[in-house]
Structure 1
Amino acid sequence: MTKHQKRLSVPKSWPVERKTETFTVKAGAGPHGQAGVPLVVLLRDVLGYVDSKKEARYALNQGSILVNGDETGDEQRPIGMFDILAFPERDEYYRVFPDEGGRLALTAIDEDAAGSKLAKIEDKRQVTGGKTQLNLHDGSNLLVEEGTEYDAKDSIVVSNDDKEVVAHFPYEEGCLVTAVRGQHAGEVGEVAEIEVTPGSGSNGVTVEGDDATFETVEEYVVVIDENFTGGDDE
């Protein structure tokens, strides 16, 4: 199996130039599936902190880069939507957030905000022992004692330290969302209407933004809090 990825065929969410060179780094196994961007791509192509995989590996081995509060030694670890990158020695902290067009971008945040991560609930199920397992957008899951308050399409904020839920944002009319896919990716607004589609089709959602109203499908939006739209004022 090849260790390289052709730039022209990378997911649209990857923040890389497609025509400058033929190949880029291939993402390793891990969260976010095929949409995950290799960590070294963000360090090299976006931030400019390293020039090669070797330099990235050295920096990671020094423990100077944290992903969601944890050290990692894998420069090809997939990084995706809402992940937190921390550079404590530089006093720099970033959240991975989709910009207009759906490309993943790094939004600067403060140190306190870097202590937790936003996640979309994809579905939930009861497990042995009576707990509820919440399955999240990045492929991870979380066990909670009481799951009746959580539903698919809700968002939660999970502490990086103890993996506890510190905030919950229900998916409902009036909630604040960002589109993460489709032609409106990166746009933010309030849900004005949820249109339930009979059968197995996707439900539609009408979102009122500051500048315009748009329609998309539920799978393309994520509930957020106003603090998650960026900036250092969290």
Structure 2
Amino acid sequence: MSNHQKRLSVPNSWPVERKENTFTVKADAGPHGESGVPLLIVLRDVLDYVDSRKEARYALNQDAVLVNGDAIADEARPIGMFDILAFPSREEFFRVFPGEGGRLALTPIDEESGSSRLGKITGKQQVSGGDFQLTLHDGTTTQVEDASDYSANDSLVVDNETKDIVAHFTYEEGALVTAVNGQHAGEIGEIDDIFVTPGSGRNSVTVTTDDGEFETIEEYVVTIDENFVGDDDE
């Protein structure tokens, strides 16, 4: 299987110039599905920390890059929405956040904010032993004894070291959300209304922002709190 990906066919979320070269690196299987951006692209094309795949591999072999608290050795590891990238030797920390047009962007944060990550609940099921498993937007899971307070579209903040849930944001009218896809990606506001579509149709929401209002489908918004607003101003 080829290790290369044609630039013209990469997902819109990838922060690469499509017409610069014919090929770019291909993401390995892993979190975030097809929308995951290879770590090499983040290091080389976004941060300008390395000039080549060889340099990226050297840095990763020194445990110089942490993703959600774990040292990463694979330069093709997919990076996606709300991942935390840490560079301990540089004392730099970033949260992957939606940018204009749905492209992934890096928001500088402090070390404390980088100790946990946000995840949107996409599934809930009971597992053997009686506990419940919550599946998050990136495909990772976490288990809880009682899932009665958790619902699909809620958001969790998970500690990178202990993997414990340290915060829970309920998806409901009045909740603060950010759009992560569609033409309003990156905009932040409060849910005004949730419209439930009967049958198999997609539910939609209207969101009120400082600049007005927009409507989008439910899958395109993620519940957050005030700590996710203005991280780059800290």
Query: Normalization by structure 2: what TM-score?
Result: 0.98
Equivalent in the alignment of 1:196 = 196
- Where 1:156 maps in the other structure, the secondary structure is strand
Aligned to 1:97: 97
Paired position in structure 2 for 1:32: 32
Whole-angstrom CA distance in 2 between matches of 1:33 and 1:82: 14
Q: How far did residue 228 of structure 1 move? A: 1.2
Structure 2 SS opposite 1:86: strand
Give distance in 2, aligned partners of 1:229 and 1:140. Answer: 24
- The match for 2:171 is 171
Runs of 4+ in 1 over 4 A off after TM superposition: none
Give the match's secondary structure for 1:59: helix
Aligned counterparts of 1:169 and 1:213: Cα–Cα separation in 2: 22
TM alignment of 1:111-190, pairs within 5 A? 111-190=111-190
1:179–1:186 Cα contact (<8 Å) kept: yes
Structure 2 partner of 1:68:
68
Q: Is the 8 A contact 2:107 2:232 kept in 1?
A: no
Of residues 65-74 and 222-231 in structure 1, the stretch that sits farther from structure 2 once superposed is 222-231
Question: How big is the shift at 1:233?
Answer: 6.0
Deviations 1:46-83 (A, max 9, x none): 00000111110100110111010010110000000000
- The amino acid across from 1:13 in the alignment is S
Tell me the secondary structure at the aligned position of residue 101 of structure 1. helix
Matched, 1:80 2:80: yes
CA contact (8 A) 2:39 2:76 kept: yes
Quote the Cα distance in structure 2 between the aligned partners of 1:60 and 1:93: 16
SS where residue 89 of structure 1 aligns?
helix
| Deviation for aligned residue 1:232 | 4.6
* Structure 2 equivalent of residue 8 of structure 1: 8
Distance in structure 2 (CA, Å) of the matches to 1:114 and 1:231: 11
Shift of 1:204: 1.2
Please give the alpha-carbon distance, in whole angstroms, between the structure 2 residues aligned to 1:166 and 1:224: 13
- Structure 2 unaligned regions, length at least 5: none
User: Residue 158 of structure 1: SS of its match in structure 2?
Assistant: strand
The equivalent of 1:47 in structure 2 is 47
**Is the CA contact (8 Å cut-off) linking 1:82 and 1:95 kept in structure 2?**
yes
Rounded to whole Å, the distance in 2 between the matches of 1:176 and 1:86 is 26
**TM norm structure 1:** 0.98
Note the C-alpha offset of 1:202.
Answer: 0.8
CA RMSD of aligned residues (A): 1.0
- Hey, what's the Cα distance between the residues in 2 that align with 1:129 and 1:231? 40
Does the aligned pair in 2 maintain the 1:109–1:230 contact within 8 Å?
Answer: no
**Greater shift after overlay, 3-12 or 220-229?**
220-229
> Identity of aligned pairs, percent?
69
| Cα distance change of structure 1 residues 216 and 37 upon mapping to structure 2, 3 Å threshold | same
Partner of 2:219: 219
